[in-house]
A and B are shown apart, each in its own frame.
Chain A
């Protein structure tokens, strides 16, 4: 017997309404509404990641860390580049508000997720760069590690900061999202009389 179009529609509506309580019950059991939008899968891990810290003591310094890969893996090399600038109160004649710190004497200590020191590395100045340094390290366990950078500038001023290094932690917790502190802009502005 051929059903008319109206009959077909009525039958479909009856089927849906009959199954709605069951769908809702299942959804309620799992805690999700069937009408809630599906959560997006986390984005792919970044190839590089940057993080800036600013330390204020007698002198203000900014430390820009560039990590490759962006999210480290255990037993895999992490390449860390650090750019150190002094942030003077009065703009420097040549460098403005960010004075690169060349020829600093630095070490980087790596602490695992439990706070245990697992490596102490000499940080090397990158030739022909302004205030840029590099270090390699290979974390051996997962979790949020800490890198403690310390040393002295060429002028003898104390340098030091800490930065988190997530190892096989993705997506990042909220406090590690973004790129850290934002140092003052070094953009030249018109002179105001």
Chain B
């Protein structure tokens, strides 16, 4: 029997429906039924193999948002790695599982609820960016690569977020004037928390939102502390963030922010190469 990651087991046993009032966006399926199906497909399988998708890191916001609902649907539909005795799922049941898995991590519209389109790319900070980070923080970072999600506020597409594949004609429609900002998910550790943080910045690098996945009193408390840094930051930021209440947290947030900002700068470099002839 495949060993499920601990996150999946925890996901199956503890489930509370997220509040609808907080973000009025349609679920792609019924997460309540998805929770039951997830348990049948991945947890209560006895001695047989569950499908490969059961081993997805569902609490990894970067991985799951990069995967996207459509690809996740195809992965579940393929039943790859599943034994014959694992029951097949109907179309609506697969969407229920996708909806359930979406409740286990941060979502893109949590940070940019009004955006119409977004791009996603993996970028590595170049040597100049690494130098700037070392100068500002005094530390050398080991992990230089991250996914950058770039959002665009397209006219008449407010809130109807859709992914833009890297096709030249489609990329050409994403003018700089429509750019809403960037989102980067990074590992984040502070007292009482060890997980991921989502750092959302506007086009100038100013922090719009800082958030960890809210699933406990501790994370709720941390999110309220992180809110104090919203509005700080800009591209080329060199000075540390200020916090009267929590200097340690300010230092941690600053380090994460610099890494996010420099990674987003790598996207800007690509975008400039693509759009230099537009102006």
Contact = CB atoms under 8 A, between A and B. Distances in A.
Contact of B28 (A77, A122, A126): A122
A126 B20 contact: no
B96 interface: yes
How big is chain A's contact interface, by range? 10 to 19
B92 A127 contact: no
Contact of B27 (A122, A127, A134, A140): A122
A137 B29 CA distance: 8
A119 B27 contact: yes
A117 B92 CA distance: 22
A126 B26 CA distance: 18
B29 A121 contact: yes
Given A126-B91, A127-B91, A134-B92, A121 B20 contact: no
A79 interface: yes
Given A136-B33, A137-B30, A138-B33, A119 B20 contact: yes
B92 A135 contact: yes
Nearest to A119: B20
Interface string A78-112: 01000000000000000000000000000100000
Contact of B91 (A121, A122, A124): A124
Interface string B17-42: 10011001111111011000000000
B95 interface: yes
A182 interface: no
A120 B28 CA distance: 9
Contacts of B93: 136
24 contacts: A77-B33, A79-B92, A117-B20, A118-B20, A119-B20, A119-B27, A119-B30, A120-B20, A120-B24, A121-B27, A121-B30, A122-B26, A122-B27, A122-B28, A122-B95, A124-B91, A124-B92, A124-B95, A127-B91, A134-B92, A135-B30, A135-B92, A136-B30, A140-B32
